[in-house]
Structure formats: structure tokens, C-alpha cells
């Protein structure tokens, strides 16, 4: 079913890769409810909705697309959701109605060739820039979440306190994992996380104060009649909100899929085989997730950690979806492990170093090709947004091609995407 031999992998490797991806992204089941609670959404509601949407999207990716790319509610979209609720003084159920309508439109677009055309429309040099940019993005995330790099008033970012327990543990975990990789130990990233977790337990950082197992709360419907969602959107005029959800989700997921797929060697030339099913995964999970109470889903950059461990097929994401389902019964354990960033950060930093190698594919001798790719690489980590990085790249690419009189290298679809990105950056909240 998963064509393991044809993909040059085996069941053991895929399962280990699934565990690796799961451990690097499971924080979302705790972080997402914590963020959305600021909009008044009950913690247990978001907790179960996060798991449901993640399982549905990731399982779809596993069974229908056969890709090792996991799906879960995207960070950034949940913060934007809170902003919409608080600034417009809406009930959170009304805001979820906007998410649902955006999900339905997203689903309809995914059934057309439009999203597949976006993938093929992205020039080769920008694709390489996306992979490298995502690499820097997740490496920077790993340094930041452990306090190795911190906010600095004089220079935006600076060196953190390397004597702190979190930073020390992350540095130890980083070098343990690097040594395992240098020794060609199979599953080094996953083993490194396990060793770091054991160290954190014996140093007193990892604590299980609330036990390990707890029965999950029953999922709840935010609204029972989907037709009411469309009525709520029209009544409150949430059209700009829907457009923001739609554009950011489309391009964020597309960029992540391209970056991770290139790292896994899944791209065939400039296209992604079976792209429609892969792109349907987040559309389906976004639509269903909004009914239960969570924000739009996206392909997760942390999937690259599982790919680096050897994941190449849907068996990796099947493992991820099963683990997320099981996590509903182990909320205290998940909460304890995901609270220690040093356990997963080393894997993100190392995978980032692997992905930055894509810069060698960029034609640095041609400014109109190189500079847009450079903007993608620079903007993704600095703005913490894959979509904004793509926007800078697309807009500058089209402008440079126009003024260097290389019209033949552009097409209407490419120009339309650049125009949508211009609207996103210039006029919509993000």
C-alpha cells in the first residue's frame, strides 16, 4: 500500500520517522488551546479539536497521498484568530464560522487544478529558496524556543543565557545527536530526543506532576448547522478575515510541502506527483476542525525532521496520526514532554542545517533569479512566516522580470499569484 521498497525505505525506518515527526510537533496539542483560550475558547474543546483535525489531515495524507508530511493547526493563524475575536468583539463561534467558510472555499479550490498549478508555477530557483528558507526558519525556531537566542532591544536578537537549564540541555542534546549522526547511527534524531528526555528527567527538568494517563474530554460541536456559518459571515461582514485565512493557509501549506518534498526527493522535476490528494488533506482537516473548535491547519515544517530520519511514505504519517490519537489519553505525559523545548529543538536545528544545502541549486549569477530566492530565505525566519517569505519572493521575481524585459519567463498565473501576495502583504492583517 505504501510502496516501501519502491521508495527505498522499510517499515522500521518509517515508524521511527513517524515518532520523530510526532515528538517535534506534539507541542501543538498544548500550545494551540493555550493561545485560543485568550479568545474564550475552552481548553478542553480546543485540545480535542486539535487532535481531531490533526488526525484527519495527517491520516488523509498517509492513505491518499502517501507522503510523510503531517498536518495540524498552524501557528500564527491561531494568534490571528484571537486578534479577530478581541478587536471585533465577536463570539468565538462566529469567528469559527469564518474559518469554516474559508475551509469550504479552500476545499473547493483543492478539487480544481489551481493549487497544483501554483506548485508548478513557482520557478526552480524560488523552490530552492523555499527549502533553504524553511531550513533557516526551523533552525532559528529551535534556537529561540530553548533560549539560546533571545530578543534583544539593540539588535532584535542576541545570545541568551547559556547557563540556563533549558539552553544547557539543548546544547547537550544537540551534540549527542550530532555525534550519533556522524557515527551513521540509524534513527539518530529520534534516539537523540530520547536521550535528551532521559537526561531532562534525571536533572529534574522533566516532571510528571499530573500523572501520565487521563481520559480525554468528549469533543463538542461549535455549531451544528453549517448553513448558519455562511449566515454569520455575511451578517458580520467577515470577508477580509476569510481572505486572510484563505491566502495564508494556501501559500503556507504550498511552501511547506515544496520544501519538505524536495528534501525527501519526492518532487518530479517542478511538479509534485499526486499533489491533489496531498493538498486536499489540509483543506479537509481545516473544514472539519473548525466545526469542533480549532483554527486552519497547515502542512508542518517539523515533518522535515521525520524526512531526515528516513521517512519517505505515508507509513510515517500513519504513525503520526496514530500517536496523536493515542495522545488524547496521555494528555499529562504529552504536556510534560512538550513543555521541555530542549528535547525537540536539537532535531530542528540539525534538520535546518541539512535543508540549507538547497542554496547550491540557486543560480547566483543571475540577479533576477537569485535575489527573489534570497528574499525568501531571509524573510521566512525573520518574519516567522512561510507565506510572507513566499510573498517577498514572488513579488520581487515578477518586478525584476518585467524591468529586465524577460516577459517570456512570466505567465498570467505567476503574475496573478504575485498580485494576490501584494494584497496579502499590503492590505490584509497577518
Angle at 364 between CA 363 and CA 367, to 5 degrees: 100
Measured CA distances, 80 to 71, 186, 248, 273, 429 (Å): 19, 40, 11, 32, 8
Residue 354: per-residue pLDDT: 86
| Rounded Cα–Cα distance for residues 324 and 333 (Å) | 12
Are 392 and 371 in contact, with CB atoms under 8 Å apart? no
Which pTM value belongs to this model? 0.82
pLDDT at 292: 95
Q: What are the 10-residue block averages of pLDDT along the chain, 430 residues in total?
A: 88 94 90 87 93 97 95 84 86 93 92 82 87 88 90 85 93 94 86 91 87 87 85 87 83 83 81 86 94 93 89 96 94 84 88 88 94 94 85 94 89 86 78
- pLDDT, residue 375, reads 95
Q: How far apart are CA 357 and CA 249, in angstroms?
A: 26
Query: Per residue in 4-50, pLDDT tens?
Result: 988 889 999 999 999 999 988 988 998 889 889 889 999 889 999 99
C-alpha cell at 164: 540556563
What are the domain boundaries of the chain? 11-355, 359-427
Residue for cell digits 498517509?
A: 62
Grid coordinates belonging to 115:
493549487
Q: What is the pLDDT of residue 429?
A: 62
Cell numbers standing for residue 102: 474559508
Amino acid at each position: 500500500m505504501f510502496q516501501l521498497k519502491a521508495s527505498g525505505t522499510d517499515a522500521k525506518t518509517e515508524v521511527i520517522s513517524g515518532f520523530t515527526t510526532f515528538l517535534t510537533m506534539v507541542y501543538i496539542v498544548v500550545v494551540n488551546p493555550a493561545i485560543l483560550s485568550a479568545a474564550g475558547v475552552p481548553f478542553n474543546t480546543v485540545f480535542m479539536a486539535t487532535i481531531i483535525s490533526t488526525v484527519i489531515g495527517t491520516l488523509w495524507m498517509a492513505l491518499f497521498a502517501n507522503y510523510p508530511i503531517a498536518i495540524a493547526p498552524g501557528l500564527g493563524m491561531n494568534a490571528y484568530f484571537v486578534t479577530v475575536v478581541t478587536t471585533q468583539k465577536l463570539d468565538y463561534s462566529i469567528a469559527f464560522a469564518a474559518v469554516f467558510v474559508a475551509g469550504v472555499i479552500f476545499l473547493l479550490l483543492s478539487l480544481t487544478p489551481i493549487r497544483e498549478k501554483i506548485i508548478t508555477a513557482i520557478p526552480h530557483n524560488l523552490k530552492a529558496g523555499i527549502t533553504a528558507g524553511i531550513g533557516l526558519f526551523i533552525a532559528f525556531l529551535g534556537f529561540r524556543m530553548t533560549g539560546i537566542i533571545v530578543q534583544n532591544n539593540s539588535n532584535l536578537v542576541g545570545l541568551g543565557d547559556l547557563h540556563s537549564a533549558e539552553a544547557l540541555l539543548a546544547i547537550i542534546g544537540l551534540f549527542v545527536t550530532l555525534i550519533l549522526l556522524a557515527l551513521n547511527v540509524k534513527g539518530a534524531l529520534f534516539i537523540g530526543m530520547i536521550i535528551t528526555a532521559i537526561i531532562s528527567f534525571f536533572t529534574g527538568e522533566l516532571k510528571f506532576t499530573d500523572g501520565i494517563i487521563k481520559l480525554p474530554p468528549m469533543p463538542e460541536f461549535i455549531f451544528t448547522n453549517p448553513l448558519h456559518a455562511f449566515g454569520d459571515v455575511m451578517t458580520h461582514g467577515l470577508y477580509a478575515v476569510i481572505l486572510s485565512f484563505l491566502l495564508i493557509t494556501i501559500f503556507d501549506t504550498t511552501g511547506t510541502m515544496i520544501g519538505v518534498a524536495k528534501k525527501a526527493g519526492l518532487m518530479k522535476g517542478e511538479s509534485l506527483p499526486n499533489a491533489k490528494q496531498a493538498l486536499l488533506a489540509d483543506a479537509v482537516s481545516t473544514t472539519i476542525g473548525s466545526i469542533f473548535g480549532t483554527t486552519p491547519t497547515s502542512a508542518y515544517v517539523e515533518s522535515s525532521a521525520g524526512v531526515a530520519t528516513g521517512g519517505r511514505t505515508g507509513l510515517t504519517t500513519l504513525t503520526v496520526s496514530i500517536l496523536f490519537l493515542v495522545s488524547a489519553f496521555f494528555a499529562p505525559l504529552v504536556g510534560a514532554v512538550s513543555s521541555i523545548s530542549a528535547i525537540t529543538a536539537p532535531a530542528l536545528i540539525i534538520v535546518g542545517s541539512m535543508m540549507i544545502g538547497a542554496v547550491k541549486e540557486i543560480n547566483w549569477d543571475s540577479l533576477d533569479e537569485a535575489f527573489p530566492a534570497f528574499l525568501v530565505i531571509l524573510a521566512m525566519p525573520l518574519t516567522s512566516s512561510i507565506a510572507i517569505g513566499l510573498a517577498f519572493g514572488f513579488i520581487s521575481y515578477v518586478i525584476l522580470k518585467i524591468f529586465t524585459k524577460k516577459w517570456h519567463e512570466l505567465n498570467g498565473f505567476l503574475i496573478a499569484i504575485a498580485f494576490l501576495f501584494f494584497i496579502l502583504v499590503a492590505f490584509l492583517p497577518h
